Amino acid sequence: MRKIFSSRTIVLLMIGFLVVVGLIAGSNWWSKKTNNPPFFQRVVNDLTGGAAKVISIPTNAVGTRANSLANLLNTFSENKALKAKVDGYAQNKVKLQTVEEENQSLKKQLDLKKSLTDYETLSAVTTSRSPTTWNSQLVIDKGAKSGVKKGMAVLGDSGIIGLVTEVNTVNSKVTLISDTSEDTNRIAITVKGGSGDTNGIVTDYDADKKMLVMSSIANSANVNKGDTVVTSGLGGLVPSGLLVGKISEVTSDSYGLSKKIYIEPSSDLSKIATVLVAKSSMES
């Protein structure tokens, strides 16, 4: 049987072993003398560091992208939450403003209600007002079931705004004093001037100026800017003494034969959220 190791092989292995031991011993001696790591340790450290560096490049890249994506998602979530809060604040601001306007309107109506000594009043809320008939009519939430009748006067926060022209069981249609259709019942009014009263009717509405118009007034009539205008009660449609507004401008008609009076309504006809229906004490 052939020998696995010959004498020559054994000698070479021993020599190699001695060389390695010598190198290790010399490396340790040199490292102690120079305060540096041994040669073999440096080789291992260099190889390990290089491998770690190679591995860390893609790992760091993936980690950086993951962190960027996480930060982006967090920013998106925070932005969404902040936007929801801002929208909530805006909605609450609008709600508060609406409540304040309704509160002011109700306060004015309470003062107005105290002045209606000959008539009972019924509170109602505007439920419908179409943009196409904005200056003509609206619908309130009180009808025949609440005692509302056709022809009753309807008041806003400071004065008359129209008449009930259609009554249903639980709601009613109100024709506004700013309605310009030909078949509208004109409200009889009186100008309370310093030299006496001047009677007339509301004949038109100037949408640009947002003013009621009182036409065909004699040139001799003593009416002036700032004079108070109230309902006269003539014709039996509405009670007398309900505030209509104040004179804003007095001009002459196109022929110069009579005066044309512009009246600023006491109630804001563009904002009618709550109303009072004037019910006479005899009817109620």
Report whether 227 contacts 264 (CB < 8 A): no
Find how far residue 20's CA is from the centre of its chain. Answer: 87
| Domain-located, residue 49 | no
Number of structural domains (the chain) is 1
The verdict on pTM exceeding 0.75 is no
| Domain-located, residue 129 | yes
CATH of residue 254: 2.40.10.350
| Domain-located, residue 31 | no
| Domain-located, residue 76 | no
| Domain-located, residue 85 | no
Token duo for residue 197:
């009263």
Give the domain extent around 221: 119-280
Report whether 150 contacts 166 (CB < 8 A): yes
| Domain-located, residue 256 | yes
Residues 6+ positions from 198 with CB-CB distance below 8 Å: 190, 191, 217, 221, 222, 223
| Domain-located, residue 276 | yes
| Domain-located, residue 97 | no
**What CA–CA distance (Å, rounded) separates 225 from 263?**
9
E strands, 8-159, are 119-128, 137-140, 153-155
pLDDT by residue for the chain (284 residues), tens digit each?
455 556 677 777 777 767 666 666 666 665 555 555 555 555 555 555 555 555 555 555 555 555 666 676 677 677 766 666 555 554 555 455 555 566 666 656 666 555 554 568 889 999 999 889 898 999 999 999 999 999 899 998 888 999 999 999 999 999 999 998 877 778 889 898 777 788 989 999 999 999 999 988 888 888 899 999 988 888 776 778 888 999 999 998 877 788 999 999 998 898 898 899 987 643 43
**What CA–CA distance (Å, rounded) separates 190 from 101?**
30
